[in-house]
Chains A and B, each alone.
Chain A
Amino acid sequence: MTARSRWEEFKVSMQPRIKEWKFMFRRMRESPLSVLGLSIIFGFAALAVLAPVLAPANPQDPFLIPQDTEIYKVSPVPSPPSLQHLFGTTGDHYDIYYACIWGTITAFRVGITTVGISLVIGVIVGVSAAYYGGPADEILMRFTDVIIAFPGLILAMALVIALPDVLFLDISLMLTIILGITMLFAILSRAKTKMTLTVLTIFVATLTLTLVYPLMLRLPMNRLDKVLIALWLIGWPSFARVIRGEVLRVKNEDYIEAARASGASDIRIVMKHILPNGVYPLLIMASLDIGAIVLTAAALSFLGLGAPPNFADWGQIIERSRNWISRQEFLANAHVFIIPGIFIFVFVLGWNLLGDAVRDVLDPTLRRK
């Protein structure tokens, strides 16, 4: 079979999906709210990309807010917006404008990595639970329940304070565990003998490596890294639940039976037939989740558990105004929390508008009416 005909074949097989996407985009263009959401997100993306131009990077570390010590001397009183400091400064004279611009990158980093990783963990757990069913389902879903039973913010708080400053990771051990799980899946899904044997060989090799010469990785973690890890760990269960439901829904459809009858392996069935059919609710959730995650991260920062002080992060700036709540200066220094708050709010609003619009477009019970 030549490359060209394969491409043609691919095009033909993708035709319905392309049509679907076109329909989606047309519907989304019609709704002003989704256009607004998209433009907000693109606007923030532009801010993030142009950050070095808009606010020249701090030579030490671009994510550290420059402190204006020379002009004002360090004083605990914030200064109002001026030409030199467009949004004013916080107490101790950290520039709010700089924090807001570079905070955009932090927000994208927190939102997108967290959702990405939660999505991957959630899909792996949810699909394996639903596809294998029985005891695997029971164990995985009870574990998911345990995490959901916690209030997310408190679990994140506990994790942030509990995680050590330096994380020692035994890479070879992790590799062994991952390979072990792969092997288990290969055996369970009756993969080809050759493949199973290869995985088995590598598994034994890494296992001996772990026992004889463990490869340790020393990872220093700052507070933001801890926040990220905490958010990954609390984020995945909701994805796992949704994808499990989706897989259960399509698992017994005729076309899955047909695929199985024609000898497709479990992994192929999951990747080619089940996931594409269950992926839309996940996309909606992911979009709505980015907003929620940025809010949680900001809340952690506000509680003094998020990004380290002087790190360019929106919530962290707001935290600096918390101490004057019951004092006279509270109103005079309102710019310190109002401006970064607007950034958080608009960013989250953008993702929520987008998620809402996508849901309206994709929800089979609401669309095409």
Chain B
Amino acid sequence: MGLITYVVRRLILLVPVLLGVSMLVFALTMFFPPTVRALLYVTSEKALTPENLKNVINQYHLNDPFYVQYFTWLTQVLQGNLGWSKVGRMPVTNAIIGRFPATFEIIVFAAPIIIFLGIYLGIQSAVYRDKMVDHVSRTASIIGWSLPSFWLGLILLAVFYGYLGWFGPGRISSDVADFINSSGQFTRYTGLYILDGILNGQLWVSWDAFKHVILPATVIVVIDIALIVRVSRSSMLEALGKGYVIAARAKGLTKKEVVNKHARRNALIPVITLSGLLVGGLLTGVTITETVFAFGGLGSWAAQSAQQLDMPSVLGFAMFSAIVFVITNLIVDVLYAYIDPRIRLV
């Protein structure tokens, strides 16, 4: 019962944050002339003629004070219309739904590796503090954390595509794309090509899609694993210094037993929080990696929109990210209380 009230309360608190986000987003649009802002209200390509835009400007009072405009826009958004995406050539909502699977596909591969390998390395370097393992894993993770993601991506492309010719950029090879789009034998059940390939019984499509996921996923793992290694190391060090760990050692348990049973469980709590936030961040934040690999996910679409001054898309993406962020936060908090019985949410 307590949990449900807590979640409901948090969801209610979500409203002011989202309102704030929408105000901020809307404030940014006020820098633009009405003809650009009119795109926020358009729902089809036919409506893009000059006269029609003029109508839109009149209809939505785009020359009125900003607070009037904000409320007309907000009602639009609440009805699910985020405007017309010039880059995606479809309504923003559809563009977000259509591109999400691509991003999701990368995350599905990258996130488990980041979390499990990161925790393993972090705990190893805490247990063997100032030993070889510690130095190597810390140095490696600092190096990864300092790498510009686009640079790493370009180098991987130069080696594995330019030199070795193993993996190419994009989500799938062009012949596979032809097969998917025009053969009529391929149904997009989920939008995740690897899964769709299996569901369609076309394993070679899955294989091709998998090959294209490897490089972007590698970039994300190399760069983001540092966070998990760092936090799990320091929280494990803290746990190892606690009284109950020393007591467990003193009563004669082996080091392995103490590490695995006493220290690790407690050390994992902050790591789990961080992992949740990290995955949430990745769902909206692989912009650069997607752009380098021309992966066609949410992030690269947002970047492209920003470059082409496609305000509705950028705003739609910003709203989407804010919602994802707030919901991940909520999930993490709930998870936190579930794992650590000392924490009471209510």
Contact = CB atoms under 8 A, between A and B. Distances in A.
Main DSSP-derived SS at the A contact region: helix
A155 B20 contact: no
A53 interface: no
B148 A348 contact: yes
A315 to B, nearest CB: 8
B238 interface: yes
A256 interface: no
A145 to B, nearest CB: 5
Interface string A172-187: 0000000000000000
Given A158-B28, A158-B314, A299 B21 contact: no
Given A151-B285, A366-B234, A163 B21 contact: no
A334 B161 CA distance: 13
**Most interface-central of B237, B303, B325 (chain A CB within 10 A):** B303
Contact of B238 (A164, A298, A365): A365
A149 B17 contact: yes
Interface majority SS (helix, strand, loop, mixed), chain B: helix
Contacts of A153: 285, 287-288
Given A145-B17, A331-B158, A338-B155, A345 B321 contact: no
Nearest to A138: B16
Contacts of A160: 306
Nearest to B230: A356
A304 B302 CA distance: 13
B309 A161 contact: yes
A150 B230 CA distance: 24
Interface string A303-337: 11100000000010010011001100011001001
A146 interface: yes
Contact of A151 (B32, B149, B291, B321): B321
| Shortest 5 CB-CB contacts between residues of A and residues of B | A146-B20, A331-B162, A341-B151, A157-B306, A349-B146
Interface of B: 16-17, 20-21, 24-25, 28-29, 31-32, 138-139, 142-143, 145-151, 154-155, 157-158, 161-163, 168-169, 230, 234, 237-238, 241, 281, 284-285, 287-288, 291-292, 294, 302-303, 306-307, 309, 311, 314-315, 317-318, 321-322, 325-326
Interface of A: 33, 142-143, 145-151, 153-155, 157-164, 291, 295, 298-299, 302-305, 315, 318, 321-322, 325-326, 330-331, 334, 337-338, 341, 344-345, 348-349, 352-353, 356, 363, 365-366, 369
